[in-house]
């Protein structure tokens, strides 16, 4: 039974391949043109990556070891958001945690909220990271990259700054982010939250 099933599936496949190969050159050209058109249409329909000045995707997420949820809608018109995508397995993320603690403390009273999203991480590993690096800013989990994918996540560390209008003003991949934050945050805080650029 197995051999007859294999034969019928294989035979059908080879029949289609032989028909395609024996098609006339104009038919093959039409098929090639159709394939190219489908590829182009797919590329045009794909969502474009986020850039600075794009509206930040809203989200709500439960905080780890803190009551309540973090909701980006609560920040519009009030606070600037530093969204840090990191992970327990990311060594640069751990090295920069102290500097990010200082930025969070320095800018909190001025209207900046720092939120770390641990991507592809477990609760236990994230808690160990928080304890080891004495993280003092809010942390939440994004284990399936539900939020990360909407923000153009490509790897850790990844930092996004969202102004009070809800627009992305900076996207920084890599370890230079925390050192660049003071200049970016000062500019975001100086901007009029009601005026569109």
CA–CA gap between residue 42 and residue 38 (Å, rounded): 6
The pTM for the full model equals: 0.72
CA–CA gap between residue 72 and residue 65 (Å, rounded): 19
CA–CA gap between residue 146 and residue 150 (Å, rounded): 7
CA–CA gap between residue 192 and residue 104 (Å, rounded): 21
Q: What kind and span of H or E run contains 48?
A: none
Provide the 10 A C-beta neighbour count for residue 49.
10
CA–CA gap between residue 171 and residue 184 (Å, rounded): 10
What is the average pLDDT value for the chain, to the nearest integer? 81
Domain 60-190 CATH assignment equals 3.40.30.10: yes
Indicate the burial class of 150 (C-beta count within 10 angstroms; 0-12, 13-18, 19 or more). Answer: middle
- Cβ-count burial 104-114 (b if 16+ within 10 Å, e if not): beebeeeebbb
Domain ranges of the chain: 2-45, 60-190
pLDDT in tens, 108-146: 999 999 999 999 999 999 999 999 999 999 999 999 999
pLDDT in tens, the chain (197 residues): 443 333 333 344 333 434 444 555 555 556 555 555 444 544 433 334 455 568 999 999 999 988 889 999 999 999 999 999 999 999 999 999 999 999 999 999 999 999 999 999 999 999 999 999 999 999 999 999 999 999 999 999 999 999 999 999 999 999 888 999 999 999 999 987 775 54
């Amino acid at each position: 039974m197995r051999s007859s099933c294999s034969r019928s599936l294989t035979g059908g496949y080879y029949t289609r391949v032989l028909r395609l190969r024996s098609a006339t050159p104009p038919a093959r050209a039409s098929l090639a043109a159709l394939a190219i058109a489908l590829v182009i249409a797919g590329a045009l329909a794909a969502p474009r990556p986020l850039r600075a000045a794009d509206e930040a995707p809203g989200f709500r997420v439960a905080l780890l070891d803190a009551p309540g949820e973090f909701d980006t809608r609560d920040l519009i018109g009030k606070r600037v958001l530093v969204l840090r995508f990191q992970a327990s397995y990311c060594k640069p993320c751990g090295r920069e945690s102290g500097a990010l603690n200082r930025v969070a403390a320095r800018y909190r009273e001025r209207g900046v909220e720092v939120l770390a999203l641990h991507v592809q991480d477990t609760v236990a590993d994230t808690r160990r990271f928080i304890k080891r690096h004495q993280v003092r800013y809010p942390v939440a989990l994004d284990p399936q990259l539900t939020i990360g994918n909407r923000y153009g996540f490509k790897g850790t560390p990844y930092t996004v700054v969202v102004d009070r209008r809800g627009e992305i003003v900076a996207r920084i991949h890599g370890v230079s982010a925390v050192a660049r934050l003071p200049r970016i945050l000062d500019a975001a805080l100086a901007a009029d939250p009601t005026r569109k650029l």
